[in-house]
Amino acid sequence: MSRVYNFSAGPSMLPESVLRKAAEEMLDYQGSGQSVMEMSHRSKTYQSIIDSCSSLLREVMDIPEDYEILFLQGGASSQFAMAPLNLAAKSGSADFVITGQWAKKAFSEAKKLIKAREVASSADKTFTYIPELDPASFDPNADYFHICYNNTIYGTRFVELPDTGSVPLVADMSSCILSEPIDVRKFGMIYAGAQKNMGPAGLTVVIIRKDLIGEPREGTPTMFTYKIHAENGSMYNTPPTYAIYICKLVLEWLKNDIGGLAEMKKINEKKAAMLYDYLDSSKLFKGTVEKKYRSMMNIPFVTGSEELDAEFVKAASAAGFVNLKGHRTVGGMRASIYNAMPVEGVEKLVAFMKEFEAAHQ
């Protein structure tokens, strides 16, 4: 068996030890005589799985007790609607910073439901930077302020949080959650699709300050109501049971094998620096975004020639470095180097890029 280095933006690599553990427990989860997939979500055994997933996430991310953790479905994309439906029940308005495709989607979905306002955008330079934000331009009466913390497609990230005063800051962290320590207290709500850094697709995690969980806007469907999910321990209906179980294994790996988020950050910084340093020294490949805003997780790069880009992606794939093709809207290449990508994977990719460069002088 040989495993490839998968640079996909998501779903993405999982730690090998997690996959092995899941395989070990596949047919008989801890003497229960069944797979986690087959188990009633109302059973004691399953309750202990979801409880430990939740308490591990609280511990690893240092989530204060006045925040609720919800395990939902529908992807981060459903949060583009759930956030306005639940958080904008007072003034009915929210501010948005447009830093890429996902931020744009969150904004256009909110516009269907509430008064959504664009505060700033980096569309003028194809989202290669994060715009300067002037708090004087923020709406002090907004129900929330939305950012996409790490821009998966363009490869930028916020380096400084906007000062929104008492307006709750809501962040889409789908592609950077668990990659480094963050101060949860600075956010009213954080959400993430799990398939980048937490586990398999099918699970969406919402971390929300408890005082923000109120009555939703009129007409909000039951399944789109945070309050319902909070009151029912994320079990109003059947939760994505197996995805939650894998997320629990990923959190155990982060805590026990890696040693927590501060350690994870060191590893991620090392991986990103290896690739960025090479891009900065290469005559063939170059990074596409402003250095200051470079993402630690998603690294887009180009050769300047579409044919050469295609040749590189093909050759890399044949050599076991897969999914390096850039997003269909951007072109070029993108290496997504989430938590589970080993240091060795990036080392080998850089070595491969150097060889490719030498052969194409």
Ligand X SMILES: *Cc1c(COP(=O)(O)O)cnc(C)c1O
Contacting residues for 297 by C-beta, under 8 A, at least 6 apart: 150, 152, 157, 175, 176, 179, 196, 197, 268, 272, 336, 337, 338
> Of 29, 46, 102, 285, which one interacts with ligand X (CB under 6 A)?
102
Residue count at the site for ligand X (CB under 6 A)? 12
**Assigned token pair, 350:** 């850089």
Question: Whose Cβ is closer to ligand X: residue 203's or residue 284's?
Answer: 203
* Subset of 160-219 contacting ligand X (CB under 6 A): 172, 174-175, 193, 196
Question: Whose Cβ is closer to ligand X: residue 226's or residue 312's?
Answer: 226
Q: Determine if 295 is a binding residue for ligand X (CB under 6 A).
A: no
Contact segment (CB under 6 A) with ligand X among 53-61, 71-79, 246-254, 273-281 equals: 71-79
- For this structure, is 253 an active site residue? no
Q: Determine if 10 is a binding residue for ligand X (CB under 6 A).
A: yes
CA 248, CA 238: separation in Å to the nearest integer? Answer: 17
Q: Determine if 73 is a binding residue for ligand X (CB under 6 A).
A: no
Question: Whose Cβ is closer to ligand X: residue 142's or residue 147's?
Answer: 147
CA 162, CA 140: separation in Å to the nearest integer? Answer: 13
CA 345, CA 271: separation in Å to the nearest integer? Answer: 9
Q: Determine if 155 is a binding residue for ligand X (CB under 6 A).
A: no
Q: Determine if 75 is a binding residue for ligand X (CB under 6 A).
A: yes
User: Of the residues 172, 271, 309, 325, which is catalytic?
Assistant: 172
Q: Determine if 152 is a binding residue for ligand X (CB under 6 A).
A: yes
Q: Could you tell me the smallest distance in angstroms from the CB atom of residue 284 to ligand X?
A: 28
User: Of the residues 102, 248, 253, 271, which is catalytic?
Assistant: 102
Helix residue ranges per DSSP H, the chain: 16-24, 44-61, 75-87, 101-113, 226-231, 241-252, 261-281, 306-318, 343-359
Question: Whose Cβ is closer to ligand X: residue 158's or residue 301's?
Answer: 158
Q: Could you tell me the smallest distance in angstroms from the CB atom of residue 79 to ligand X?
A: 8
Which candidate, 288, 309, 310, places its Cα nearest to that of 299?
288
What is the number of H-type helices and E-type strands within the chain? Answer: 9, 14
Q: Could you tell me the smallest distance in angstroms from the CB atom of residue 4 to ligand X?
A: 21
User: Of the residues 21, 51, 90, 196, which is catalytic?
Assistant: 196
Question: Whose Cβ is closer to ligand X: residue 172's or residue 252's?
Answer: 172
Question: Whose Cβ is closer to ligand X: residue 6's or residue 152's?
Answer: 152
Question: Whose Cβ is closer to ligand X: residue 77's or residue 282's?
Answer: 77
Contact segment (CB under 6 A) with ligand X among 62-70, 74-82, 130-138, 267-275 equals: 74-82
Contacting residues for 311 by C-beta, under 8 A, at least 6 apart: none
Residues in the chain: 361
CA 271, CA 316: separation in Å to the nearest integer? Answer: 18
**Assigned token pair, 88:** 């904008």
- For this structure, is 102 an active site residue? yes
Q: Could you tell me the smallest distance in angstroms from the CB atom of residue 40 to ligand X?
A: 26
Q: Could you tell me the smallest distance in angstroms from the CB atom of residue 66 to ligand X?
A: 25
Q: Determine if 143 is a binding residue for ligand X (CB under 6 A).
A: no
Q: Could you tell me the smallest distance in angstroms from the CB atom of residue 259 to ligand X?
A: 26
Q: Tell me the three state secondary structure of residue 75.
A: helix
Long-range contacts of 319-323 (CB under 8 A, 24+ apart): 319/352, 320/2, 320/4, 320/5, 321/4, 321/5, 321/7, 321/345, 321/348, 321/349, 321/352, 322/4, 322/5, 322/6, 322/7, 322/8, 323/6, 323/7, 323/8, 323/9
Enumerate binding residues for ligand X (CB under 6 A).
10, 75-77, 102, 148, 152, 172, 174-175, 193, 196
Catalytic positions are 102, 172, 196
